Structures are given as structure tokens and as C-alpha cells.
Amino acid sequence: MPRLRRQYGAVRRFCNRKAAALAAVLLLAASPGWAEPLRLVALGDSLTQGYGLPPEDGFTAQLERWLAAQGREVQVVNAGVSGDTTAGGRSRVGWALADGADAMLVTLGGNDLLRGVDPSVSRDNLDAILTEAAAQEVPVLLIAMEAPGNYGPDYRAAFDAIYPELAETHGVALAESFLAPLVEGTADGAAMRDFLQEDGLHPNAEGVARIVEGLGPRVLELIDTAAE
């Protein structure tokens, strides 16, 4: 009998230790330190993708580091495709959200401008993207693009109106032109060249850093809303 009592006592102590260890793991898993990072999908074109830059200097990588510096643990998913139009974004938004998303950035329209796409077509495509995000209950920050004047004032007015009107219709957050931070605080638009690559279209690493600094507060608002 003493031997059986010793064996029973050993088993009981082992079970108690296992239970305590399991409880500790569950407690840690429930703590903020063990929470999975928020998943932020950045749907866009070459500006999002990081054209011409090493991966660590691209928009999504710099944004993820900036958010970390603000104390936010966020995985920024690079869903940018170089050359993509709003039509391309529309065709793959379901794929971009397939693995789940807590929030999404939408930065599309630059290539529509380069190709002179009818603003009504761009509007329909962006509307479909925002509709899909709403169906999946993914909050969105819509980042505007501004039309140049070479297509005439009517085209420019029609295109520039797309973003605020869709943001209001869908009840999503709106940020100013993606490239606006490159001229903010400068004497004239010519200073923007200092933050562009040699092609004159895509930001260099320093330009991306300025863009992230400019957009960062709006992104913070988005992810804090998503985390509620």
C-alpha cells in the first residue's frame, strides 16, 4: 500500500504541474503580448508595391516599421502590383482579402490617369472594391490620387471628385493624394524631384519615408478603429 500511495502521489503531482503549465500558457495567450498582429492589406499599384526599391525601402515595409515605432504591432501585407489600374484592383480584391484582413488601404488610380481612363470607369471599379470590403466587414482607408491638367479641366474635376464622393457613400476614411507629402512644406512643386527616382514618377526611399510620415496618422486611426 505505501508503494501505491507513492505512485498515486507522483501521478497527482505530475498532473498538477501539467495543469499549472497549461493554465500559464492559456493566460499568456490571452495577454496582449501574445495577441496576433493586426493584418493590414495594402491594395495598390507600383507605389504600394515599391517599384525600383529594395524590399526594405518600399512603402509597406517602411509603414510597418513606422507603426511599430508608434507601439502598434501590425503586419502590412503588400498587395501592390506594378502597372495595376483600378480594374486590376477590382479583379483581385477578393484574392487580396482571402487570407483575412483587419483593415485595408486602397491606393489605386494612378495608372488610370496615365492611360486616360474614363473617370466613370475608375469610379465603378473603386466602388466595387469598397463594396467587397464592406461585404467582408473590412474597414478601409481610401487614398486619393489627383489628376493632372493635361486632360482638361472637366476630366480633372470628374476624376478628383471620385474619392471624396465614394468615401462618403461607403462611409470609409479618406486620405489626401498619396504623393501630397512630397511637396508639403516645400516652396514649390519642383522640390518634389528630390524625392523621386530617375523616372520622375516613383518615390525614392526618402520620398517613401515622407509619404509614410504624412499618411501614418490616418493609418493609425484606421487600425485603432479595426482593433476596437
Alpha helices in the chain (DSSP H): 2-30, 46-49, 59-69, 86-96, 110-115, 119-135, 153-160, 162-170, 205-227
Q: Out of 45, 102, 177, 202, which one is annotated catalytic?
A: 202
**Is 31 marked active-site?**
no
Angle at CA of residue 219, ends 137 and 85, nearest 5°: 70
Q: Out of 99, 154, 188, 199, which one is annotated catalytic?
A: 199
DSSP assignments along 206-224, one per residue? HHHHHHHHHHHHHHHHHHH
Q: Residue 105 belongs to what H/E stretch?
A: strand 103-107
Contact criterion met (CB below 8 Å) for 85 and 115: yes
Q: Out of 46, 84, 102, 122, which one is annotated catalytic?
A: 46
Angstrom distance (rounded) from CA 81 to CA 85: 9
Cell of 221: 486611426
Please name which of 153, 146, 159, 83 lies closest in space to residue 118, comparing C-alpha atoms: 159
**Is 99 marked active-site?**
no
Angstrom distance (rounded) from CA 145 to CA 30: 41
CA distances from 4 to 14, 16, 18 (A): 15, 18, 21
**Is 170 marked active-site?**
no
The residues annotated as belonging to the active site are: 46, 199, 202
